[in-house]
Structure 1
Amino acid sequence: MARKQPVVSRTRDSRAGKSSVHAQLANEIGLRIVRGDYPPGSILPNEAQWSETFNASRSAVREAIKMLMAKSLLASRPKIGSRVEPRERWNLLDRDVLAWYASSPDREAFLKAVQEFRHIIEPEAAALAATRRTDEQMDEISRACREMGAAVTLEERTGADTRFHLAILRASGNDLLVPLGVLIESAFSHLFLYVTREGDDLDAAQKLHESIERNIRLVRPEAARRAVRKLLANTDKVVERGPE
Structure 2
Amino acid sequence: MSSMSRTYARRSLHSIVAHDLGRRIVTGQLTPGDNLPTEAQLSETLDVSRTALREAIKILSAKGLIESRPKTGTRVKPRHFWNLLDPDVLSWHFPDPDPAFLYGLFETRLIIEPNTAAMAAERRSEEQLETIRKAYIGMEQAEPGTEAVYLTDLEFHQAILDASQNDFMKSLGMLIESALIGSFRMSSAGPKAHVHSLPSHKAVYQAIADRDPDEARSVMRQLLRQTMMQLRDELGMKGTTDWERITL
| TM bucket normalised to smaller | 0.7 to 0.9
TM-score w.r.t. the length of structure 1 is 0.87
Match of residue 175 from structure 1: 167
Aligned residue runs from structure 1 range 112-151, under 5 A? 112-151=103-142
1:141 to partner: Cα distance: 1.0
After TM superposition, where is structure 1 displaced by more than 6 Å over at least 4 residues in a row?
none
Note if 1:60 corresponds to 2:52.
yes
- Secondary structure, aligned partner of 1:102: coil
Cα offset, 1:178, TM superposition: 1.6
Q: In the TM superposition, what are the counterparts of 1:196-215 in structure 2 within 5 Å?
A: 196=188, 197-199=190-192, 201-215=193-207
SS of equivalent to 1:76: strand
Deviations 1:93-116 (A, max 9, x none): 111101112245x53333222211
Structure 2 residue 81 is the aligned partner of structure 1 residue 89:
yes
Whether the aligned pair in 2 keeps the contact of 1:108 and 1:239 (CA below 8 Å) is no
The answer on whether the counterparts of 1:112 and 1:239 sit within 8 Å (CA) in structure 2 is no
| Greater Cα radius of gyration, structure 1 or 2 | 1
- TM-score, normalization by structure 2: 0.86
Aligned residues: 225
Shift of 1:243: 5.4
Contact 2:149 2:194 in 1 (8 A): no
1:242 corresponds to 2:234? yes
Structure 1: unaligned runs, 5 residues or longer:
1-16
Q: After alignment, is 187-196 or 156-165 more displaced?
A: 187-196
Supply the AA of the counterpart residue of 2:195. Answer: D
Q: Considering only aligned residues, what root-mean-square deviation do their CA atoms show, in Å?
A: 1.7
Unaligned runs of 5+ in 2: 1-9, 237-248
Preserved CA contact (<8 Å) 1:126 1:168: yes
Q: Would the aligned equivalents of 1:102 and 1:110 in 2 still touch at CA under 8 Å?
A: no
Aligned to 2:149, what secondary structure does the other structure show?
Answer: helix
For residues 18-33 of structure 1, the aligned pairs below 5 Å read 20-33=12-25
Higher relative contact order (CA 8 A, sep 6+): 2
